[in-house]
A = this chain, B = another copy of it.
Amino acid sequence: MLLDETAAGVYVIAVTPFRDDGALDLSSLDSMVDFYLEKGADGLTILGMMGEAPKLTGAESVAVARQVLRRVDGRVPVVVGVSAPGFASMVELAQAVMDLGAAGVMVAPPSTLRTDDQIVQYYRTAGDMLGATPFVLQDFPLSTQVQISPAVLDRIIAAVPTCVMIKHEDWPGLAKIEALRQTSAKGGRRVSILTGNGGLFLPEELQRGADGAMTGFAYPEMMVGISTRHAAGDSEGAQDLFDAYLPLARYEQQPGLGLAVRKYILAKRGAIASASLRRPGPKLGAADIREIERLIARQTRRLDSLR
């Protein structure tokens, strides 16, 4: 089951659970997988930026992928982040996880890329090095510092057939989705576009032509519910659901601190055993936790009122 251009729905960006002492918590990977699938995930993405991937050794990365793939057991496709400072490490990890049954890999651009040609050349080389492995291009300028114009994405899509999906996380980026869809309407290859940014623009993104979400908000049922209602033509219902989750989604989307918020909620919901981030990582303070709890309580009431 390889990832291709038809991928759609909600791919949850998975966290990587650690124990309080910083060791990998492999058993929480199982409960986390169960949690995400119960909430309706159509796919999983592991070892992304929000998966603390850079804090793992190569062997740990493979161990995480192995555990997740074993637990998923083919029920949904699993995408694995393989971004690395150099191609040798990227290819090594990609081969390992594809051998274990991953559906594809995800590649963010290194922050040193600047000109259009540098970006295109980077993905040409990546495609070349990765061989037949399908990959997701992660377009996340706020984090990577690399701005990729729609025209450059078009060039990459035209030149690199194994680029089957854009993880769209530009901000603002609604016009970018439209531009990409105009290209495919004119005969360009139509790739999958799943959107990130914590789901904060999901209703609009779907209306502009995105195929779903690839993001890690601790309530995956939000993304699933919005996608389902959108697909059913119920855009007001989708937006009502969105509005109910928005105050907390906004809070979780804070750079840096957001992952600690996400893990706090996931631990509270029983998906993982510990909310700990591996060092170095932020810790929530008392005020943070108070605010999260308050937002959760309000969210629960609001969701109840929608039923």
Contact = CB atoms under 8 A, between A and B. Distances in A.
Given A250-B246, A280-B122, A298-B239, A172 B117 contact: no
8 contacts: A54-B86, A56-B86, A58-B58, A115-B116, A115-B149, A172-B257, A239-B247, A246-B246
Interface in A223-271: 239, 242-243, 246-247, 250-251, 254-258
A184 interface: no
Interface stretch (A31-39, A87-95, A187-195): A87-95
Interface stretch (A6-14, A211-219, A285-293): A285-293
A189 to B, nearest CB: 21
B204 A55 contact: no
A178 interface: yes
Given A239-B298, A291-B204, A148 B115 contact: yes
A86 B281 CA distance: 11
Nearest to A247: B243
Interface in A35-62: 52, 54-58, 60
A174 B292 CA distance: 13
B291 A54 contact: no
A172 B254 contact: yes
A125 B280 contact: yes
A118 B149 CA distance: 9
A116 B288 contact: no
A256 B115 contact: no
Given A87-B280, A239-B298, A280-B125, A172 B116 contact: no
Interface residues of A, number: 60
A204 to B, nearest CB: 5
A152 interface: yes
Interface in A77-91: 84-89
B116 A149 contact: yes
A279 interface: yes
A175 B285 contact: yes
B88 A60 contact: yes
A178 B172 CA distance: 30
Contacts of A256: 172
A117 B171 CA distance: 18
A53 B152 CA distance: 29
Given A54-B84, A87-B280, 20 more contacts: A52-B86, A54-B86, A54-B89, A55-B87, A57-B88, A57-B89, A57-B92, A85-B85, A114-B147, A116-B117, A171-B254, A172-B256, A174-B287, A175-B257, A175-B285, A178-B287, A207-B287, A208-B287, A243-B243, A243-B247
Interface in A96-118: 111, 114-118
Nearest to A119: B115
Nearest to A85: B54
A14 B259 CA distance: 34
Contacts of A178: 285, 287
